[in-house]
Structure formats: C-alpha cells, structure tokens
Amino acid sequence: MEPVGADTAAGFGVAGTALVRVPGPRVAEGIVTHAARRPVDAALAARQHEAYVAALRSAGWRVRAVPPADDWPDAVFVEDALVVAGDLAVLCRSGEERRRGEGPGAEQAARRLGLRIERIKDPGTLDGGDVLSVGDTVYVGRGARTNEEGICQLAHLLGGRKVVPVDTRGCLHLKSALTALPDGGLIGMPDMVDTSVLPCLRVAPEPSGAHVVPIGPDHVLMAASAPRTAAQLAADGLRVTSVDISEFEALDGCVTCLSVLVP
C-alpha cells in the first residue's frame, strides 16, 4: 500500500483517493455496542482488509495509507476520524472517549493531500460515520457518538450546504442505518432513523444491505453478507462488488467505515 502522498485527489476520470488504515494488532479488542460480542480473527481481518483495498484499486481509486494507530483498536474504522467536503477536512471528536486518540494520523493524511483542516471542538462530538453527503445535502445522525453541538459546528464549517440532523436508534451511526446509491437515492433500515426528515427511503432486504459505498457512477461496493440487496441492485443495472468483512461486522463495522473517499 502506498503512503499518503502530497498530490491532490484525482477527479472522477481516476475515481479519486481512498484513505484507509490497516487493522492494528489490537483490532480484536475493538468496541462493540450493538453486535453480539464474539472472538475476532485478527489474521482474517487483515486478509479481508487487503481484499477491500484491492476492490477499491480495481475500481480506479488511488489508495493511500493513513499512519497506523496501533494503540487504538478501532482505528481501522478511519471514516469516523475525518469528514471531507471539497478541499476541507474536518477532524472529528468522537462521543466515545476511547476513540479520540485516532485523530493525529488522519490529520497527517489530510494535510498530505493538501486539504484545509478544521476540527470539531469541545463540547461538540461528531463521528464521521454519522455524516452522509448526498448532493448539496448533508444528513448527520444524532445519537450516542454525535451531539447537537457537533452538528452545529459541522454546519458552520460547511458554509452554505444544507445540513439535516437525523435522529437514530438501535444503531451505532447514521450510516449503520442508511447510505446513498450513486444516483443519490437512499437505501436503509427505516426503523433505525427518523424518516420524517428524509426523502423516499428504499428498504434494504438485509441489515447489511443498508451499507452501500458508491465507487463509480454505476458501481457500488457492498458486504458479502447482503446477497439479496446485491441481487436487487444488480437487477437495477448497478455493478456490484461484494467483499467479505465478517470480522469487522463483528465489531459493529461496515463497508463505509473502512475508508474515506476523496473524489
């Protein structure tokens, strides 16, 4: 894997830059909030992460490694540390104190891409997994990891973009419950979010079917644990790449958590 370079992210001719962080030696100790705790095979997690990275590369993404944070078991879920919007990188401040040491490496990676740096400040809390950008609208989950102050700070930093708070329940992050397809349509689990503030939400056949990463104009990355959702999206004309991330799902993770995509 190449280190994060000083070159800026490419346009969509080359899909862009994907920031990832390899799972550390303590990954099996990651925080579990909603999944049933089970042993995690760290060696298998490493192989699954390699396959995830390979899928991004195959789709045209330039992969850059965020410096390791081996003392922080959940650091592989790099999405939670950083929100990128245009040339701005917002360093998050998690509502889970045990994750607040993951930021320095993410900041270093963002600076090497030439991004402007801002940060969420106390008493605000924000996890990147709660932030879903769809066109000019940014949906932000309000729950255990992200509070109202964090949402307000993010809205200020994003300037004119429309920011919509979305209350969540029974899930770790907003993007644990819903994500967006390449055309901007939402897919997810309506019982986990306040649907009154959302446009039409397509119901995913499986819980992990709510987790879709658009990696091209008609191409999505999904977990292998959502075959029925994958089949539906393929029938709709989307190209679907499925990857096995079972060891990360055991830690409340999903395909969105493992990268920050910078178009």
3-state secondary structure 92-142: CECCCHHHHHHHHHHHHHHHHCCCEEEECCCCCCECHHHEEEECCEEEEEE
Q: CB-side exposure of 173: number of CA atoms within 13 Å?
A: 29
Q: How do the domains of the chain map onto residue ranges?
A: 16-262
Report DSSP letters for 145-190, one per residue.
S--HHHHHHHHHHTTTSEEEEEEB-SSSSHHHHEEE-TTS-EEE-G
What pTM did the predictor assign?
A: 0.94
Nearest to 109 by CA among 79, 140, 138: 79
Q: Is 16-262 CATH 3.40.50.1000?
A: no
The pair of structure tokens assigned to 60 is 């045209």
pLDDT tens string 172-216: 999 999 999 999 999 999 999 999 999 999 999 999 999 999 999
Cα–Cα distance, 251 to 98 (Å, whole number): 14
262, 14 contact by CB (below 8 A): no
Confidence of residue 1 (pLDDT cuts 50, 70, 90): low
Q: Is residue 219 flagged as an active site residue?
A: no
Which distant-in-sequence residues (6+ apart) come within 8 Å of 100 by Cβ?
93, 94
Residue 152 pLDDT greater than 70, yes or no? yes
Annotated catalytic residue, options 92, 171, 254, 257: 257
14: pLDDT strictly greater than 80: no
CA distances from 202 to 32, 119, 188, 214, 256 (A): 27, 33, 6, 16, 18
Q: Are 106 and 81 in contact (CB under 8 A)?
A: yes
The pLDDT tens digits of the residues spanning 88-101 come to 999 999 999 999 99
Calculate mean pLDDT across residues 31-56: 97
Indicate the average pLDDT of the chain: 94
* Cβ–Cβ < 8 Å for 230, 240: yes
Catalytic residue among 92, 171, 173, 254: 173
Structure tokens at 241: 């790449």
Q: Please state which of the ranges 9-13, 55-59, 70-74, 79-83 shows the lowest mean pLDDT.
A: 9-13
Residue 182: its pLDDT value, please?
Answer: 97
At residue 9, does pLDDT exceed 50? no
State yes or no: is 257 an active-site residue. yes
Q: Which residues partner with 116 through β-bridges?
A: 88
Q: Collapse the DSSP code of 91 into the 3-class scheme (helix H, G, I; strand E, B; otherwise coil) and give the result.
A: strand
